[in-house]
Chain A
Amino acid sequence: MSQHYPALIVIVPLLAAFIISVAGWINKKLCFPIAVAAVTVSTGSSIGLLFRVMNEGVVHYRLGGWLPPWGIAYYVDQLNALVLCVVTVAALLNLIAAKKSIEQEFPERIGPFYTLYVLFVTGMVGITVTGDAFNLYVLLEIASITGYALIAMGDKDRAPLASLNYLYMGTIGACFYLLGVGYLYIATGSLNMVDIARILPDLYQSKAVLGAFIICMVGVWIKMAFFPLHGWLPNAYTFAPSASSSLIAPLMTKVMIYVMIRLILTVFTPKFAFATLAISDSIVWLACIAIVMGAIFALAQRDLKKMLTYIIVAEVGYMVGGAWLGNRAGMTGAILHIMNDALMTLCAFLVVGNIVYKVKGYAFDNLKGLFAKMPFTMGAFVIAALSFIGVPPTCGFFSKWYLISGAIQAGHYGFMVALIFSSLVNVVLFFRIIEIGYYEPFSDHHGHDHPAEPMAEAPLTMLVPLYIVAAGLILVGLYTGNIVNHIIRFVIPGSFV
């Protein structure tokens, strides 16, 4: 069965989604175990695939038995395998942690919610593992449609409008990507990524290829919320229910960054993206603006969830800037940051989920005295805060280190200044919350303060995954050297200095 790992990762959640949909009508209690079993099989297969790729190199899988470019083929190298592991592990931990909050918020709609959850995971995993440009579009649409529905189930007043705005921008982004693939098809006649890369070098001067590149990039930037195309993200992630936001926020933008890196490294080889086009400098400046604006908007917010969404906008700027710096350290930092940012964002949003489950609100006023009331949750929050700021040995420090050394090596001091500015602003943001949570006494808005608040921590099914992620933040930081040397080093082509 191990030669079928690339297929199993996507197919088992897909089949499970249909079974969950039927189970939702017959017996609601079956939905959660089936979902956990499916995502666990997917996680096991992706870890197995990672080890296979580390031993053998690139893994190919032909769907339908047809050779590429006539059939759809999977092309799994170290970059895919790493992102696959991150996506499946994050989805599994979030599924376990979100069980109580789903049962609290929509008790009669458990079946459809879990169906869409597992289909979203299928979409994310499918985008990561595929080697065919059009297949990526179809899976992107699966992930997007299920994402719109998952987000719209939140706050009754604001969530449908936020989701509809996300739908408009997301559709424009996906259609731009489709148009770019169409231009590439007209110019080369093929849809397979490796095949396109083989044919393209003769066509670098073609205006159609230049148009295809720009349109694909703009489409992917819209889907990853790169400033100024980020308008949909804050509202969509803030008003979503906690189970959805802690699933979608860590994964959607990071997988889109993976798509961008895949387009730069494999489809339009670095020779085209960096040398022929010579726009990498301006894109790094755009990334600097994204980081600074994300940090400034985050400072202006008065509630925790919206502040975290603007921090996501800034983190996207880190990764886009790092990838477009054009040197080995920058690209290593960007790829490492995909993994680290997914874990950090998952940790932060799981904390918010715990807070919402107990306190029913996430504005700064609701956070007073939480360190006494929910010490374990806020402990994990402190670890996540240290990672966002970039304190060793958490993983955030190491990816920032690679990004800054890449910036210095490329001579792009503006990017380095933006990174340091963002770290300082994160210090202010997170210490402000720690101060509200630790020093202010808890008040429940009735006017009288309780002297010694008894601890009312979130249930264990929500705490254990949270602590696994928080421990992961530190472990991934300590093992950064191994990850870079055994996995990421082989992804970056030799032409990078």
Chain B
Amino acid sequence: MGDLIQAIVAKYNYWIYITLMMIGLYAMIAKNNLVKKIVGMNIFQTAIILFYVSTGVKRGGTLPIIEHGHGGHSHVIHAADYINPLPHVLMLTAIVVSVATLGVALALAIRIYNRYNTLEEDEILAQIREE
């Protein structure tokens, strides 16, 4: 039992991100309002970003900016002193992609609202069926 508690505590960050991801996924599937679905999409993508960034942490590491960078090149650089920069780079891309998708989704939601005057999906489907 102590072993299981140990395993849960050592990796608690992954459990938090998975919970956030599933909240976002549930919102995208189960909610009726189009904007709530868009918010759920944003939560889902943000949880993935948090997940990636957390893989770059190193105990005892500092920011990935070389200290004494400009000046002498005589300092030996140890990789263990700095946290992993690669997940940060990948997630800059993922953040931009999520903002772009959010922009297009909002534009589509505005088009739908201008046409049907409602943002609830069941009312929109009812209006479509009447036509």
Q: Does A179 contact B (CB under 8 A)?
A: yes
Binds B, one of A12-20, A101-109, A157-165, A464-472: A157-165
Whether A168 touches B37, Cβ cut-off 8 Å, given contacts A157-B131, A161-B112, A161-B124, is yes
Residues of B within 8 Å of A145, CB to CB, are: 100-101, 104
Q: Does A478 contact B (CB under 8 A)?
A: no
Mask for A167-208, Cβ within 8 A of B = 1, else 0?
A: 110011001001100100110000100000000000000000
Of the residues B28, B45, B94, contact of A168 by C-beta under 8 Å: B28
> Closest CB of chain A to B119's CB: distance in Å?
11
Query: Would B97 and A167 count as touching, CB distance under 8 A?
Result: no
**Main SS of the interface on chain A?**
helix
Residues of B within 8 Å of A179, CB to CB, are: 48, 51
Q: Does A152 contact B (CB under 8 A)?
A: yes
Whether A148 touches B104, Cβ cut-off 8 Å, given contacts A138-B97, A182-B55, is yes
Query: Would A172 and B115 count as touching, CB distance under 8 A?
Result: no
Q: Does B108 contact A (CB under 8 A)?
A: yes
Query: Would A138 and B111 count as touching, CB distance under 8 A?
Result: no
Q: Does A141 contact B (CB under 8 A)?
A: yes
Residues of A within 8 Å of B52, CB to CB, are: 182, 185
In the bound assembly, the distance between CA atoms of A158 and B125 in angstroms comes to 10
Within 8 A of A (CB), among B74-91: 86-87, 90
Which residue on B lies nearest to A135, using beta carbons? B93
Query: Would B101 and A141 count as touching, CB distance under 8 A?
Result: yes
Whether A152 touches B28, Cβ cut-off 8 Å, given contacts A157-B128, A164-B105, A186-B55, is no
Query: Would A157 and B115 count as touching, CB distance under 8 A?
Result: yes
Query: Would A160 and B112 count as touching, CB distance under 8 A?
Result: yes
Residues of A within 8 Å of B25, CB to CB, are: 172
In the bound assembly, the distance between CA atoms of A148 and B103 in angstroms comes to 12
Residues of B within 8 Å of A401, CB to CB, are: none
Which residue on B lies nearest to A170, using beta carbons? B101
In the bound assembly, the distance between CA atoms of A149 and B37 in angstroms comes to 18
Mask for B50-84, Cβ within 8 A of A = 1, else 0?
A: 01100100000000000000000000000000000
Apart from A148-B108, A167-B108: 10 A-B pairs, beta carbons within 8 A? A141-B101, A145-B100, A158-B128, A163-B108, A167-B104, A172-B28, A182-B48, A182-B51, A182-B55, A185-B87
**Residues of chain B having any CB pair with chain A under 8 Å:** 25, 28, 34, 37, 41, 44-45, 48, 51-52, 55, 86-87, 90, 93-94, 97, 100-101, 104-105, 108-109, 111-112, 115, 124, 128, 131
**Residues of chain A having any CB pair with chain B under 8 Å:** 134, 138, 141, 145, 148-149, 152, 156-158, 160-161, 163-164, 167-168, 171-172, 175, 178-179, 182, 185-186, 191
